[in-house]
Amino acid sequence: MYLSKLKSGIKDFTSSVQRIPQCLPDSHCYLCQQPTQRLICEVCEQDCLFFNTPVLPDNLLLWPPIKKGLVSGRYTSVHACSYYQWPMDHLINQYKNGHPQLTQTLADWFVAYALPSDPFLPDCILPVPTSSWRFARRRYHQTLLLANAIGRRLSIPVHANWASRRSFQRKQQSLGRRERLNNLKRAFALSKDPLPSRVAILDDVVTTGATAAALSNMIYSAYPETSVALWALAITPAKADPGALVSGQIRQQRVLLQQY
């Protein structure tokens, strides 16, 4: 009698323990650490600051403070979610350093906050190539993962091997503006695969725009008819303007209003 009660007690306990994970949230929010089913909870997403479009132009290159901070190249438009500042800097840093599970969330944010609701989409996405030593260190190519996730959302193909990055290059910091561009030009090689008429170069962060300028100039030399857009999660501002940003909650409300 006692033994059978003990056995049934153990059975109940075991089945309760097995059910615990189903009752608990899958993870904690990357920003506020509160338990949530999502990687970034809804409250944090609504509190995050994104570019205040359509008050700002959808094409950020038409907005002087952004244009002024970027090295000009053969790209004709720039789309990004926000400045490279909290929380985007934290999320992108995490994403690049061992947290590829953020791919889908960041891709969803790009589609929701960087692109207009009826975007004029490119024919393909070109992720900025990574060097083999960076790939060996990270064990994933974060920009390619991001491109694939955005491509799936928008039904656009991704050209993964459109260019390659040579491992050796001189350190950019010690070089002047023109030398930097030449150095970057030597750092990349275009593949022989033809490109369609509209492409989007995708990078995680655009700092000076020198990489995009070098790559878009190379594309222009090989395919003068191809128009190049620059897509990124975030832009490092020359001088951040807080008035350029608005909360995720307001951006979401604008989308809802457009639907009615």
Q: How far apart are CA 53 and CA 50, in angstroms?
A: 8
CA 126 centroid distance within chain = 13
Judged by CB under 5 A, how many residues of this single chain contact Zn ion? 5
For 61, residues 6+ apart whose C-beta sits below 8 A from its C-beta are 67, 70, 75, 76, 77, 78, 230
Residue 24 in the binding site for Zn ion (CB under 5 A)? no
First to last CA, the chain: 67
Residue 250 in the binding site for Zn ion (CB under 5 A)? no
The window from 34-42, 50-58, 113-121, 174-182 that contacts Zn ion (CB under 5 A) reads 34-42
Residue 31 in the binding site for Zn ion (CB under 5 A)? yes
DSSP letters along 101-128, please? GGHHHHHHHIIIIIS-SS----SEEEEP
Provide, rounded to whole angstroms, the least separation between the CB of residue 43 and Zn ion.
Answer: 6
Residue 232 in the binding site for Zn ion (CB under 5 A)? no
Residue number with CB closer to Zn ion (44 or 150) = 44
- Asked if residue 148 lies in contact with residue 115, where contact means CB atoms within 8 angstroms, the answer is no
Provide, rounded to whole angstroms, the least separation between the CB of residue 37 and Zn ion.
Answer: 12
- What are the tokens at 190? 């275009």
Q: How far apart are CA 80 and CA 206, in angstroms?
A: 9
Residue 41 in the binding site for Zn ion (CB under 5 A)? yes
Q: How far apart are CA 196 and CA 213, in angstroms?
A: 19
Residue number with CB closer to Zn ion (43 or 160) = 43
Provide, rounded to whole angstroms, the least separation between the CB of residue 45 and Zn ion.
Answer: 8
- Exactly one of 13, 14, 44, 130 binds Zn ion (CB under 5 A); which one? 44
- Exactly one of 2, 14, 23, 29 binds Zn ion (CB under 5 A); which one? 29
The window from 5-13, 21-29, 67-75, 135-143 that contacts Zn ion (CB under 5 A) reads 21-29
Q: How far apart are CA 53 and CA 81, in angstroms?
A: 10
- Asked if residue 210 lies in contact with residue 181, where contact means CB atoms within 8 angstroms, the answer is yes
- Exactly one of 6, 10, 24, 32 binds Zn ion (CB under 5 A); which one? 32
Q: Which residues of this protein are in contact with Zn ion, per CB under 5 A?
A: 29, 31-32, 41, 44
